[in-house]
Amino acid sequence: MRRIRASRGATSNGATRSRRPFGAERDPSRVVTFSDAVTAIAITLLVLEIRPPEDTEHLMRGLLDLWPSYLAYGVTFLLLGQIWVNHHVMFDHIRSADRLLLLLNTLLLMVIAFLPFVSSVLARAFEEGPGKRAALVFYGIVYGAASILFNVIWQYASSGHRLLTSTTDEATARAISKRFRVAPVWIAVGTALCVVHPIAGLIAVAAFIPFYWLPINGEIDSIRRTRAQAANGPP
């Protein structure tokens, strides 16, 4: 990997980075490629956890009885899709990766690779009856860990504009931080609710899906400003 020159660390306002990276800086493109591959494998493994009915004589009934597997598959697939999208949001604004960022991203990928197992545990608990609360709490804890790692990665990269691109201004960084900070709190509330009422807790976690697919307004404004400046040219 090629090292990225430190001189590329200036912000759009002309301010230099206030904090130094940890070790040599490298092009983050391979980080994104590897992360995409791990996410793609995890999403693919989700469907392999759905076992076809053994009783083909009553096939339709058997397929309908698999609804917990369909539910776990659908929710986990969409949540993994959110992780993939927001991972790209982060790295669209990260110009380089140092040693600590690589470690943090590896920890995030470790959680992502674990999600097919978590999904299968949830499906099995709903199929067999007992253990719903424990399975949902386990599910929430793992997703909570992923959301916390997201925030840690972004805060590390954006602190003092340490690893961000020169076109990422403070308003954009704050808008992304604000969106990411919602996730751990939302998932923690949903997980706590699962202890009291499993179905209500699952609905609360699932409601997280449409919210996180919404665009980040501050980021959009920044992109529009950058494009307008490029179209108008230098003053």
Looking at residue 91, what is its pLDDT? 93
- pLDDT band for 221, please (50, 70, 90 cuts): low
Q: In the predicted model, is pLDDT for residue 217 greater than 90?
A: no
Helices (H), the chain: 29-48, 59-64, 67-92, 99-128, 132-158, 170-196, 198-206, 208-212, 217-232
First vs last C-alpha separation in the chain: 37
30 falls within a domain: yes
Nearest to 96 by CA among 152, 28, 15: 28
Q: What percent of the chain has pLDDT over 90?
A: 48
Instruction: List the beta strands (DSSP E) in 67-221.
Output: none
Q: In the predicted model, is pLDDT for residue 10 greater than 50?
A: no
- pLDDT band for 15, please (50, 70, 90 cuts): very low
What is the span of the domain harbouring residue 218? 24-226
- The count of structural domains within the chain is 1
Q: In the predicted model, is pLDDT for residue 7 greater than 60?
A: no
Over the stretch 31-75, which tens digit does the pLDDT of each residue have? Answer: 999 999 999 999 999 988 888 887 777 889 888 988 989 999 999
Q: In the predicted model, is pLDDT for residue 79 greater than 80?
A: yes
Looking at residue 191, what is its pLDDT? 92
**80 contacts: CB under 8 Å, gap ≥ 6:** 39, 42, 43, 46, 112, 115
Q: In the predicted model, is pLDDT for residue 11 greater than 70?
A: no
Over the stretch 121-161, which tens digit does the pLDDT of each residue have? Answer: 999 988 877 788 999 999 999 999 999 999 999 999 998 88
> Which phi and psi angles does 31 have, rounded to 5°?
-65, -45
In whole angstroms, give the CA distance from residue 45 to residue 72: 13
49 falls within a domain: yes
82 falls within a domain: yes
Tokens of 116: 């097919």
19-23, 37-41, 175-179: which has the minimum mean pLDDT?
A: 19-23
Q: What percent of the chain has pLDDT over 70?
A: 83
In whole angstroms, give the CA distance from residue 201 to residue 32: 32
217 falls within a domain: yes
Decide: residue 57, CB within 10 A, 0-12 exposed, 13-18 middle, 19+ buried. Answer: exposed
Length reported for the chain: 235
Q: 131: which strand partners?
A: none
In whole angstroms, give the CA distance from residue 206 to residue 185: 14
181 falls within a domain: yes
122 falls within a domain: yes
16 falls within a domain: no
Cα dihedral sign, 15-19-22-24: positive
Please, are residues 111 and 149 in contact by the beta-carbon 8 Å criterion?
A: yes
Decide: residue 180, CB within 10 A, 0-12 exposed, 13-18 middle, 19+ buried. Answer: buried
